Each structure stands twice: as structure tokens, then as C-alpha cells.
Amino acid sequence: MVRTSSSPGLKKFGSGGSLWRWGSLDHLALTTRLTAYCRNILRTEQSRIGGSDSKSCLSKGGGYHFPPCHILNICGFSILLDCPLDLSALTIFSPIPTSSKASSFDEENPSCPNHSESSDLEEPMVRKRQKVEKPLDADDLIYAEPWYKTVKNLHLWNVSFIDVVLISSPTGMLGLPFLTRMKGFSAKIYVTEAAARLGQLMMEDLVSMHLEIRQFFGPEESSFPQWMKWEDLMLLPSSLKNVALGKDGGELGGWLSLYSAADVKDCMQKVLRLKYAEEICYNSTLIIKAFSSGLEIGSCNWTINGPKGGVGFISSSIFDSAHAMNFDYNALRGNDIIIYSDFSFSDGTEDVESGYDNSIPTTCNRSSLRNYENDCQELAKSLLNVDEGLEERDKLAFICSCVIDSVKAGGSVLIPISRLGIVLLLLEHISTSLDVSTLKVPMYIISSLAEEFLAFSNIIPEWLCKQRQEKLFSGEPLFAHAKLVNEKKLHVFPAVHSPKLLMNWQEPCIVFSPHWSLRLGPAVHLLQRWSGDQNSLLILESGPDVDLALLPFKPMEMKVLECSFLSGIRLQNVEPLLKILQPKVVLLPKDLKQTSSLKSNSCSTFHYCVNETLHIPSLKDNSELEIATDLASQFNWRNLKQENINMTRLKGELCVDHGRQRLSTGNQESSESRPLVHWGSTDLEKLLVVLSNRGIKATLGDAFGSESESASLVHVHDPNQALIEVRTTSTVISTADESLASIIFEAIEATVKAARRISTLLPLFASATGQRISFHKSFPFFQKCF
């Protein structure tokens, strides 16, 4: 959808929104909600300890810039899927005023840090109470250094319990530095090479833009800003209050001060980059692969295979992309479970009635399989025949026509769109339109990392569509921006006040610059410059906060073009997609159940919603074990008539490798060089005695968890700090001292009552009565051993 408006009106916000307040009843309600959150998390952790698979949706996100976030528990491992930031929440803050307005702004706004403290709180309270019934005004915005809103419930989780982080898109990693700098975080982070580089550039650009605001406001006087105080929050209009606190008031804890460039660098050092479809094995149990989703360069869907079956994770995806590699849905076929996490619902108002038959072949003969493959081919053609690409090209053509009309009238065009693919396509289409119209209008890209973005887009062919890859083989540049720069039709500058830009500047012009929130970056300065020009044009992505984003620049004479680009799978394509994938279990958003009439006879369907843990049914009651041929030849079966069971005794080496459990004869020499892993329970009192005999001072901590799945802590104080976490199925040693970790391991080894000894390549997943001894993942030395 594309709509134009010369002066978009503001929505009238009501003042009757519900909000919890400190007090007896409301405080009790808040406590109940927080208790429910914690209880939900505890249940998930208990299921993790017990080995039950489950999924928790922490946030359903909000479009391309704020993807959903999930916690998935598979085979005892906790997997975090995406860690984004809600940058749309920045609209509750006021942008930096121009130098001509700064002095008057300070005088009019009592919440400005430069304002005299003598005004206290009484005057703004009276002033804002008088405006409570009036339409939202620019003075109602928070005039302070912005904080950034993270995923609502992620801060309630213990990050030390997260084992793996999977990032599906560049925008899905913008909140990652908040996570990696937290104490106790040691998870493996997997990102595609392209998404990792683009995400890093986006984070560095965000830090650079925020630095300008920090320089304007100066250093914070305390770690708790004035605007977050309860009395100030209560004075906000209801629309701003809902953004800051959420509908139930539980989102205030998700606001954080932005990370630093050092935090971003440290975060990227912990990221493991994957090539397209590269196979990575986590802890010899989970096989993880990334396949293109078509949404953006480097964006992907994930497959996770383990002893209990395969799981496919579908993020926002596009079947036919004009720049990125198309949605590779065939790579998701054969998975037992499909988690559908595309909340875009591009055709949400349309009721989906599909004529496809979801039944699966009941007999496994060649004829039925052939028919099934033919059906899949027909369904695949139907998915691509929707021709999403043609519709997107029509949108780009319409945008170009509006751009040409504006520059012909003598106005300039501002495009603060941050989607790299859309920017690259717009550059190509607009330059072609300018050539056809014989207009000599310069195009500028103003961003601190624009050169890096453009350079990287020409060296990642494996994540581009086939048409772009063919250009590479023919010796042509993948995108047209390199040619435009050489012809001096496109100019790239790092900042709006760059001396070279000021020398080159001429109007009318076409400018691409961040940030789409209209609170950061060069876009703020340019919008303040052109907002009064009726011939100029602002091109924005449509969204629920567009009116709020434009509020500080009112009144506006500038034309506004609001565009919506395809950001996910259309509803009518969901059912044929599931027909092709044919999973046994499908997890769908509850919103999808309410907006469509999907019917599926071929698989079990479960619906999930935010802040609820959904337990995934086990598809395999027994684990599979591969036995070497030489061992199988030694079978000497004995029949237990009473139990109707045949049994035999084997002696061999049991190991877990690439998600498969194998039993082989083993090699005595190689076995002796490997660390031993014992099954049995650890006597904590005896462990303290053994540690004391070895010169280690330790004390018992409080136990936690349920009665059946309890966990105990042993705190080591001397000679160095260490923590021993004894669970039902594992014992984890956490310390920065490698020699101390070795001594503690030997002490635990001495106290374990071994029912059996198994020499393994990696720690085994024991049964409910077993015990696994492993090391914390943050130790490089023991990571190599285990």
C-alpha cells in the first residue's frame, strides 16, 4: 500500500488507558504479573533440566525492523532465536533541535537537563495536567538522551542458561551487545556471514548517531534518568505511556542505555559466522544449518536436527526477491517440527480459503510418492506464480514517479529508509528515471558507514538472487551504485556537516540517510530544513508510529509518501507451504489462527502466544543407537520369557557425534588419552571434604528447582573463585582458573559413585538417573577437550 498526504494528521489518542500504579491493589496486580513471568520461566528451566522440549515466545516483534524473539528448548539445550531492539520506541523522545531552536527549546521545556532546577516538579506537573485532554503536542515528547527498548521479557531470564543464540537477520542482532556484556553469558552465537557484517555495520552506525545526541545533552548525572522516575512517567500522555511501560506496565525494565563501540566489538568477537547452508554441530548433538529466507541479504531460516528429530524455524520470508536469494523452502522439507515465526501477515485482512488438499499418502508405494512429488511441484509453481516481485517493482516505479515530480517542481527528496535491499533497488530505479527525464539532480548517501555498506553489497554473491549472480559471472557489478559513484551521479559522505559535502551540496537533490525513526542521524537535520517546503518529499515506510514520528516537525508543508514493502509470507501461501514441507507438528502464532482458516489434516497443529511456554510433544519415544558390525556379530541373545524381552551384553565405546549415538569396539590407547565421564550421584558433603584436602575452601549454597529436578550450588572461595552447579543430569564447573577447574574435576571424579565408566569423545546425555560432568563453555581449554 502506498498513500500520499501533504500534511498527515495526527491520530487522537485517548487518555483512558489502564496502567498500574504503586499502591496496594495495583502494586499487588503488578507483583502477580511478575510472579507469573518468573513462574513461567522456572517451568521452562525445569523442563530444560528434565529434557522436555518446549518453546516460549518472548515477543512477536513489530515488522521488519523488530523481528520476533523466542526461546526454544531442544535436547536439554536452551536456544535463543534473535535478539532485536524496538527502535520504533525512540519516537517518544524529542529529536535534537537545530541551533536556532535550541535556546527557545530549553526555555520552554522544563525537563531539559540545562534548565534550572529551581522549577522543581510542581510547575511541569501543572503544565502537563492542563494539556492532558488536548491533542498530542511536540512539547509532550521526552526531552532527554534516548534509551533503547529491548525485548519485553528477555531481561527476566538468566542468561547463563542460554546455550545457543541463532540470529535470523541483521536487525535480529541489534540487541546482542546488551546480552553479551551481561555477567554469566557464555552461549554460542551463530549468524550468517552476510548478516553478521551488515548487523555489525548497523550497530556501529547506531552508536555513531547516538554519540551526537550524547554530546548535545552531556554525560548522564546518574544511571537512572529523570524521565524514568515514576512521577514523571505518570505525567506522560497515554500514548507515550503505553510505549514506555506497555499495556500492563511490564516493559519499563526493558529500557537500557545504548551500548558502546567497545561493546559492539566485544560482541562480534563472540559471533561464529556461517556460510550458506554450512553445517555446524553444537556439542556433538545438534546439527544447525542456515538457509536463505529471501527477506534481506544474509537473512535466513534455521534447521536444527538432533536425536529427537528435526526442527525447522521459519522467520519472515519472501518467495521472490529482487536482490536477495529467494526463500529456500525446499531445505526445510523432512523436518518433524516446523516453527512458523512470520508475524508480518501482509494480507491480514483477507480470510484464507484454500482449495488445496492437505491429506498425505497413506501407502508408501512408488505411485503415491510420485503423485506427492507432482503435487509439490504444482504447489511450488503456485507459490511463485503470485509474482510478488512484479508487485514490488510496481511500487518502486510509483515511488520514482513521485520523486521525479518533486524535483521537477524544485523540491528535494529525503529517503530515511534503512532496508539495504530497498535502498539499492531505489538507487537503480531513480537513476534510470532521472536519465529518462534528462534531469541533472545529484543523489547523496549520508551515513557514517555508507561506504562500508555499499562496498560489502558487491562481495556477497552467495546471498543474492540468481539474476544478480549472473551479473557476477558476466563481469558486471552486482548493483549499480558503483557505476553511479564513478559517474559522479551518486555522492557518499559520512556526515551532514562534512566539509566535502558542504562544498559539493546543491539543491534540489535526493538524499538517502538514516534514521527511519526520525530521531537520530542526518535525517533529523534535513527534515528540519525541508519540512516547510511544499515541493519537497519525504518517503517513509508505513507503520503504526508514523504520525508520532512526524510530530516534532509539525506544522509540515512537505509532502509525505508512506510506503509498505513486502516483509513476509502472504497468508494465502502458508497452507500450500505447509503442504510442501509436510511436518508432523506445526507451531503457529495464535494471531494466525484468529485471522485465517487454515486447515491441516496431515499434521498436529499447536498455537503459541507471547509469554507462554508451549511444550512440544516428543516424536520419538526411544533413542536410536548405531552399533558397529563387529560388535553386532557378537550378539548372544537371551530370552526373558516373563518380560517377553530379548537381551544381550555388549562391551564397547559409546559416543555421541553429529547428533547420532554410536557404539563401537573402541581403541584402548585412544580411550586412555580421553577424559573419563562418570555416571552416578555426587555426594556434596564428601565433595567438600575432598576439596578441603586439596587446599580448596568451599561452602554449600542454596538448592533450587523442584523436588524431582533439584539443583545444588557449591561456592569455591579460595584459592580463586569458582562455582559448581550440581544438577540431576549434569555437573558444571565455572571458573576463570583452568588449573583450579582441573583440581575440582579430579575432586568430583573421586567422589562420584560410578555405576559404569564410559570413555567418550564428548559428554553424554545421561538418562534421568545418570550424571554428566562437563565444563562451562567459556573455558577454551576444556572446550577443546569436551
The CA distance from 669 to 667, in Å, is 6
The CA distance from 181 to 161, in Å, is 15
pTM above threshold 0.85: no
Q: How many other C-beta atoms lie within 10 A of the C-beta of residue 642? A: 5
Q: Model confidence at 590, in pLDDT bands (50, 70, 90)? A: confident
Choose among 713, 750, 747: nearest CA to 732: 713
Mean pLDDT on 268-279: 92
Which residues does residue 306 pair with via DSSP β-bridges, in sequence order?
309
What would the DSSP string read from start to end of 608-635?
A: E-BT-EEEPPPS-SS--EEE-HHHHTT-
List alpha helices for 450-531, DSSP H.
450-457, 466-473, 481-486, 499-504, 522-530
pLDDT above 80 (res 277): yes
Q: Which three cell numbers stand for residue 129?
A: 495536567
Query: pLDDT, tens digit, for every residue of 376-418?
Result: 556 565 565 556 678 888 899 999 999 999 999 999 999 999 8
Q: How many other C-beta atoms lie within 10 A of the C-beta of residue 203? A: 26
Query: pLDDT, tens digit, for every residue of 305-352?
Result: 988 789 999 999 998 888 999 999 999 998 999 999 988 764 443 433
Q: Model confidence at 680, in pLDDT bands (50, 70, 90)? A: low
pLDDT above 70 (res 96): yes
Assess contact for 92 and 105: CB atoms under 8 A.
no
Question: 603 or 721: which carries more pLDDT confidence?
Answer: 721
Query: pLDDT, tens digit, for every residue of 220-249?
Result: 766 788 888 888 888 889 889 999 998 877
Question: 757 or 216: which carries more pLDDT confidence?
Answer: 216
Residue 97 is predicted with a pLDDT of: 78
SS3 call for 57: strand
Measured in degrees and rounded to the nearest 5, phi and psi for residue 203 equal: -70, -45
Question: 130 or 84: which carries more pLDDT confidence?
Answer: 84
The CA distance from 767 to 161, in Å, is 20
Query: pLDDT, tens digit, for every residue of 162-174?
Result: 999 999 999 999 9
Residue 42 is predicted with a pLDDT of: 41
Residue 385 is predicted with a pLDDT of: 54
The CA distance from 80 to 609, in Å, is 16
Assess contact for 317 and 330: CB atoms under 8 A.
no
Mean pLDDT on 612-628: 77
As a whole number, the mean pLDDT across the chain is 77
Which residues does residue 587 pair with via DSSP β-bridges, in sequence order?
339, 606
- Cα dist from 719 to 691, 694, 735, 745, whole Å: 11, 11, 11, 15
Most confident of 149-153, 463-467, 557-561, 633-637: 557-561
The CA distance from 670 to 761, in Å, is 10
Which residues does residue 69 pair with via DSSP β-bridges, in sequence order?
59
pLDDT above 80 (res 643): no
